[in-house]
Amino acid sequence: MRALILLGLVGFAAQLVDGSLGMAYGVTSSTLLLAIGTNAAAASATVHLAEIGTTLASGISHSRFGNVDWKVVAKIGIPGALGAFAGATFLSSLSTEVAAPVMSLILLTLGAYILVRFTAFGLPRGNLGKPLRKRFLAPLGVLAGFVDATGGGGWGPVGTPAILASGRLQPRKVIGSIDASEFLVAIAASIGFFVGIGSENIDFAWVAVLLLGGVVAAPIAAWLVRHIPPRILGSAVGGVIILTNVRTLLRSDWVDASGAVQTVAYLAIAVIWAGAIAYSVREYRRDKAHESVEAVETDLRAARTAEEEQASA
């Protein structure tokens, strides 16, 4: 029962993050399942089955708040589904000993990407309004879908930053569109895992509690995306993913690090992580202050213009 309650809370927290950042539900949930010793393919299958429900709820919630561009969903979601099916069948073919470290490496890479991306760069805002072309979205969807299935998560960490970097879509619509299109990816990956490993290795009670936690959090996250600072949240989540998957790798047969080495590694990551969050907070406050100054200057210019027009009249 404790494990089920914990998984439900993880599903809730992971969906809050995913719905606010456009990423990290699968990465966060898969990281926990690997940490407690779940088979890599079964972990990814469990998460993707739960995501069928959470992504549907998230997509509906984002749509109601006007956060979804359905043209983008169609252009990236279908190629993403094909990539996810291929990734699921590939992961299912690997042995348990090989699959767990491979998955941890993918998750570690994605965690580092999230941490660096949001800490150093925040959210780009140029080129808003320009169309996103299929020749860009289709290959991105295939790659993100494949990484998502093999890593137990990755649709958001690959797809969201790439679209954000183009600067052609408002951040809230990027997040909403990625979350909505992930519904197709989750279905395709789940089918791939059923083909590859069957259903006997999947604990459907775990699927249910992850799903329940995510569905409860989905509408809250769709509202939070308009209010929560993505830069700070991205730094915080990236650090959690890095720390957990480094732990898995250091304890794997690939590395088998001593206790002293593990302690040093954890301390180093904790210091870097704390520094990243502090930097993100400082940059966020500086950006907000800069925006406030610009808003005041804009109001003053508008007032002067109005006064000049009245004087000339």
Q: How far apart are CA 295 and CA 161, in angstroms?
A: 28
Task: Give the pLDDT confidence score for residue 270 in this predicted structure.
Answer: 92
Task: Give the pLDDT confidence score for residue 300 in this predicted structure.
Answer: 74
Quickly state the pLDDT bin for 264 (edges 50, 70, 90). Answer: very high
Helix (H, G, I), strand (E, B) or coil at 74: helix
Quickly state the pLDDT bin for 269 (edges 50, 70, 90). Answer: very high
Quickly state the pLDDT bin for 79 (edges 50, 70, 90). Answer: very high
State pTM to two decimals. Answer: 0.64
Mean pLDDT is highest, among 99-113, 115-129, 169-183, for 169-183
Least confident of 137-141, 187-191, 205-209: 205-209
Q: How far apart are CA 111 and CA 101, in angstroms?
A: 15
- The pLDDT of 24-53, averaged and rounded, is 74
Burial state string for 290-309 with b = 16 or more CB within 10 A and e = fewer than 16: eeeeeeeeeeeeeeeeeeee
Q: How far apart are CA 313 and CA 299, in angstroms?
A: 21
Task: Give the pLDDT confidence score for residue 82 in this predicted structure.
Answer: 93
Quickly state the pLDDT bin for 275 (edges 50, 70, 90). Answer: very high
Q: How far apart are CA 25 and CA 48, in angstroms?
A: 10
Task: Give the pLDDT confidence score for residue 227 in this predicted structure.
Answer: 65
Burial state string for 36-75 with b = 16 or more CB within 10 A and e = fewer than 16: eebbbbbbbbbbbbbbbbbbbbbbbbbbeeebbbeebbeb
Q: How far apart are CA 207 and CA 194, in angstroms?
A: 14
Q: Within 13 A of 1's CA, how many CA atoms are on the CB side?
A: 0
Identity of the amino acid at 135: R
Cβ pair 27, 154 in contact under 8 A: yes
For the chain, the 3-state helix, strand and coil shares in percent, each to the nearest 5, are 80, 0, 20
- The pLDDT of 193-205, averaged and rounded, is 74
Task: Give the pLDDT confidence score for residue 78 in this predicted structure.
Answer: 92
- The pLDDT of 210-228, averaged and rounded, is 70
